[in-house]
Amino acid sequence: MAKHHPLQKELNAVMRKHGKFEALELLLPDLSGILKGKLIRPADFAKSCDAGFPFCASVTLLTTLGENVSGIPFGENDGDPDMPARIVPGSFAPVPWATKPTGQALFRLFDDDGQPYFSDPRAVLERALKPLRKMGLTAVMATELEFYLLDAAIDEPTPAAPLIPGTSRVQPGPQVYHPDDLYEIEAFLNDVYSYCDKQNIPAESAISEYSPGQFEINLRHVGDPVLACDHAVLLKRAVKAAARNHGFIACFMAKPFEEDAGSGLHVHMSLVDKHGKNYFSHGRENLASPPFSARLRHAVGGLLKTMPEATLLGAPNANSYRRLRPDMYAPVEPNWGVNHRVVSIRIPSSDANNLRFEHRVAGADANPYLVTAGIVASVHYGLKNKCDPGPMVKQGQKVVPKLKIPNRWDQAIKQFSRSKILPQYLGVDYCKYFAMNRSAESTKFHNTISDLDFDWYLRAV
C-alpha cells in the first residue's frame, strides 16, 4: 500500500473535519502583502502535496497594480520563468465564505537548488531572524490591525458610520471605544470570528477606533514571527470576506480620509531565551519598569537608529505618507516611551514576564512579513552594538515633532536605498529590488494626472 505524503495526510485530516473540498486555493503573499495564487481541482490535490508545483517567480516582486518593473529579474525581459513551489505545512483550512466546499493553503517558492527563494516575503523574514536565533532567542509577537468599514452601496468611499438612533443622521464625533459601535456590526464580527476559528487564526479583542467606521482586531501572541504574519494576512482576507457579506467594504489603506485617523499595523514583540525567560526582563539591571534593563534599551536603540531607513517597509505606498502626520496619533519621530500612543516605540504597561515593545510606525497597508523583518533586524543590530535609545518620552508628555521619520514617499525610498544595515539582514538583492519596485510605482503615481490637478490649476493658472 502506497504511503501518503505528510501534506496529503494533513489535507485529508482537514477534510475529515470540515468535509471534502471541491477546490483548493493556493496562496502566496507578494511584495505588497497581497495574496496571489491559483485554484486547483481535486484531481491535482495529491500531486500538489507530493511533488509541489511550478509557479511564476516574478509574482513576489510585482507592484501594487500587479505589474512587472523593468530591470528586476523574472519578468518580461527574461521570459518570467517558473520556480518550484511547495505548500506550507499547517496552513490547510476551509474557506467558510466560499459558495461551494473549498479549502485554502499557503505556499512558498524555492530556487532550483532547493533553497528558499530570495524574494518570497516568508524567506526574507526567515533570513532576518537568523541572527537572533543564533543568540538562542525566540521572538514572540502579535499584530493589531486597524481598518475601516465602508458602505458598499455608495460609489464615493464613505465610512459605514453609526446613525443616531431613530434617525438617518450620522452620529458625529469619533466615539472612540464606544461599545454600541460594535453592536452595530455584530453580525459582521460574528462572521469574522467564525471564519477565524475555522481557519485557526487566533483573533482576540475587537474595538471601535478613533474615527466613525474604524475598528481594530487584535491577534494572540505566538512564538513564531512567520506564523504571526501568516495570521495577519489571513485575518485581512477573512475581514474582507465578512465585509462583503454584510454590505461593507473593508479598507486597509493607511489613510483613506484626510481628516480622520489613519489605520496602523502595530507589532507587539518580546524576546524569550532558551530557558523560556523574558530576555528583556532580566540582565544587568533586572528591571521591568523604567529605566528598564540594558537589553530592552539596546533593542529599542536599534529600532530608533534604523527607523528612518526602515520606514519604507512600514509605509510602502503613496497613501502611507498621508498617515504619518503630527497630531494624528501616528508616529513622526524615532522616539520611545511608556504608555504613550504618539511615540514610535511604546512600552505597554506589563509585568516582568510580559515586558515587550509595541512598534507603531507601520500602516495597515504594509506587508507584515517585511515590517517584521525590519523590526527583528533592528532589534538584533541594537543588541549587538549596544545602541543607546536616548531619553524616554514621559507618560503624558507632549511630543514636539522634528519629522526625523521620512514623511514623503520618495524621501523614504532614498533613505532605504542608502541603508547599510538592512541589506545585511534582508538580503542585498532583495533590498535593491524592493527599492526599485517602490521607486517605479512612485514615478507612475506622480506622473498620473488626477482631478486635483484640474481643481487646483485649471482656472487659477
Q: What is the widest separation between alpha-carbon atoms in the chain?
A: 81
Confidence at residue 1, expressed as pLDDT on a 0 to 100 scale: 39
pLDDT tens column, 350-407: 888 889 999 999 999 999 999 999 999 999 999 999 999 998 887 777 777 776 789 8
pLDDT in tens, 296-350: 999 999 999 999 999 999 999 999 999 998 776 788 889 999 877 789 999 988 8
User: CA–CA separation, 54 vs 322, rounded Å?
Assistant: 39
Q: Would you call 162 helix, strand, or coil by DSSP?
A: coil
Least confident of 26-30, 146-150, 279-283, 408-412: 279-283
- Residue % of the chain over a pLDDT of 90: 75
> In the CATH scheme, what architecture does the domain 128-443 have?
2-Layer Sandwich (3.30)
Domain 6-117: CATH superfamily is: Glutamine synthetase, N-terminal domain (3.10.20.70)
pLDDT of 42 > 60? The answer is yes
What span, in angstroms and rounded, lies between the C-alpha atoms of 263 and 365?
8
Domain residue spans in the chain?
A: 6-117, 128-443
The single residue listed with the C-alpha cell 461599545 is 179
Least confident range from 9-13, 87-91, 274-278, 396-400: namely: 396-400
Q: Is the dihedral of CA 54, 57, 62, 68 positive or negative?
A: negative
Helix (H) or strand (E) holding 337: strand 336-338
Common-topology check for domains 6-117 and 128-443: no
Lowest mean pLDDT among 1-10, 87-96, 190-199, 300-309: 1-10
